[in-house]
Amino acid sequence: MSLLEDLMLELPKGYSFTPVELTQIQLAQSQLDDVARLEQVLESEGHTVSGHAGQTRLNAAFSELRQSRHEASRQIEIIRRGMLTVDKPAKAGTRYTHSASRIRA
């Protein structure tokens, strides 16, 4: 199941994603895809590799995976926080609310 499908299940009644939020979801999904690829690299190469002088060192994919997981989690939290925020319209009769401002981190 994709991130968008997961989030759609959590949507409050009457809420729909703005174009800005959909872009944020797409970026978070890309980050999750990167996490999956990095996990495959670590599974095939292991957590330690040989350095240029023959020493054992931590696989660079290990720290990149940690950072990617953190960033994906942060992006998803921003999206979920926005889903819980109920904004008033910026002006009477306008279509969009202040959703773009609540996405910024």
Q: Residue 89 corresponds to which tokens in the numbers above? A: 């319209």
**Cα 104 from chain centroid (whole Å):** 13
DSSP of the chain: --HHHHHHHHPPTT----HHHHHHHHHHHHHHHHHHHHHHHHHHH-SEEE-TTS-EEE-HHHHHHHHHHHHHHHHHHHHHHHHH--PPPSSTT-S--THHHHH--
pLDDT digits (tens, 9 = 90+) for 5-33: 898 888 888 888 889 889 999 999 999 99
pTM of the predicted structure, to 2 decimals: 0.70
